[in-house]
Chains A and B, each alone.
Chain A
Amino acid sequence: MNGVLTLLKPRLWSFLNGNVARDREPRNIKWLLFGGIGFLFWAGIFTVFYRVLRYFQGVEGFGDILAYKLLSMVLITFFALLIFSSIITALSKFYLSRDLVLVHALPVSPAQIFLARWIESTIDSTWMVVVYSLPIFLSYGIVYRGGILFYATILGALLPFCLIGSALSAIAVVLVARFLPAGRIRTVFVFLSLVLFVILLIAFRMMRPEQLTNPDTFASVLLYFRSLETPGSPWLPSTWIYDSLREVLSGNRSGALFHLALLWSGAAALGYLMTWIAGAAYFQGFSKAQTTAERLLPSRQGRGAAGAWLLGFPSGPTRAFAVKEIKTFTRDQTQWPQIFLMIALIVVYLYNFSVLPLDKSPIKTFYLQNLFSFLNMGLAAFVLTALSARFIFPAVSTEGVAFWIVRASPVSIRSFLWVKFWVYFLPLAILAEFLIVATNLLLQVTDLMMILSTATVLLMVPGIVAMGVGLGAAYPDFQSENPAQAVTSFGGLLFMILCAGFIGFIVILETGPVYSVFMASLNGRGLALLQWVWLAISFALVILLCVLAVVLPMRLGERRLKALA
């Protein structure tokens, strides 16, 4: 056990050293900012659940059933999240971390290394789920007057619940790494994400969420109740934690204790099984992972299709960076699952528009269609922000330790950043216009709204991309093993806040004038002079804001990146 603790010390010391680092002041600001936003989310979750549970409590007859059903769904979601996040973390901790070669050269057994890594992985993958589950349990405790025993049960149940999730993931990862060809570990990411994507899509379609709110569609009320009361599988750990919480809330202490015992014995048995499997398979899997990473797609002589058309461009830095950017991006298999998930998001987004029950609304459909179209500009821009946060913000950080090549090359940092801008601007602009035009067609909006929304989004996209590239350059992380995580940094957060503000301002600036133009055309009259002035000023401000959103972040990024030297 001493060996395991020693192996955990570098992580602990690095964390503690972080507090005495040279940049202590900015670090404190970051902690405050992250802490503040984290707390807001925490409080938000609590408020929503508290109000929902209060409402349920007031529903005579089946309010409690709904509350328990909600708890069961939340726990299943948490369990799925735990499994998924544990698999991703465990893969990295067990096989991909840079320090593993050094650690395996130390005079400690692979079993000790595995155990130390598993503890780290468990903490990393579960802490956030635990932190954000607490406001939900707290709201149940308050609304249903859980008492001290309820909170004690939660504490006693959450730990084995997390251990079970993490142990199951570790077993899966060790087995996959043992039997899949070496170097294919990353392929697992693709596979898992594809599976997740398909499950999500099928589940979404089968749920038909728009009908869930309408009990009329069930054959009878009895059937509706039955569907709500269906118990979870007795093999699922989320059922054990659910049962223990339900029993303690209904005052059945021995029942709660029994389900708690199930959780703990399940965790202990899985822990034993995991160490046994790891002892037999971990080191072999690690050895396999050391060999050259094989590609998911076979090698092609004279490869170059990914950017072949770009080779028609005159040679120069632009072509160099553009080809490099496209090839490294498309060949990085860790990017693919994220793309699949983003596609899933977009499909769901468009699907939502196709099933909007506009005709059932008491408000005039024509008015509502155009209102949605207007709000959709903001929504689409938020979707683009999410995409940018994942793919564009880390674009500079992905240069990683190879950034010396850029610094040593006869290309200015400005040109380097602008190439990045154009490489990402073009696909994002096309996607943005596709989203807007598709949703507008689904909504059957007026020509005016179609022109306004396509133009506005086209104006906003350069700003969003420039903020991604510029702030990504201002807050780069060249040492990260996973540059995609850069978005969870202070800079990433700043990017999202600024993007939200930017989009919000544009929408607000356009709301008033667009409403007057819309109403005027609806009533068949012209605009007053004051309205024309208002319109001109608003749109001039929109253009100015969009220009500033491009120029300022790019300049900041250039200055900060130059100052790094």
Chain B
Amino acid sequence: MAFEPIIVSFLCNWCSYTGADLAGTSRIPYAPNLRTIRIMCSGRIEPTFVLKAFREGADGVLMCGCHPGDCHYHEGNYKCLRRYHLLQKYIQQLGIEKERLRLEWISASEGKQFASLANEFTETIRQLGPSKIKKVMETLT
């Protein structure tokens, strides 16, 4: 069977999730590979969530928040941005391809952009192939 990427996406309630919703209500077809988790703010995406998603078998993780300056809570998306940079450096040290973790800003009106992001990210992960994290990190007891 052909490889279908499993992607966990964290979308903030105020912009990105609404943007994804708009893609749906506008009936824009896009890749069905995203497993979306709605959170109140991209500042809520704890690094633990991302690491756990990878550990439990996600091939890619997508973090989405409001555009800079637009955060409903003023600065949650900046916190997310800083965590993203720290996470990127850390996962690369562990030999995980940096393309597997992506941060994008999607506003409530960007349904079309969200659909093309989903397609594009799914395609990137498809090219990379399945993640080996789950298998390699298992402890053989």
- Pair from one complex: no
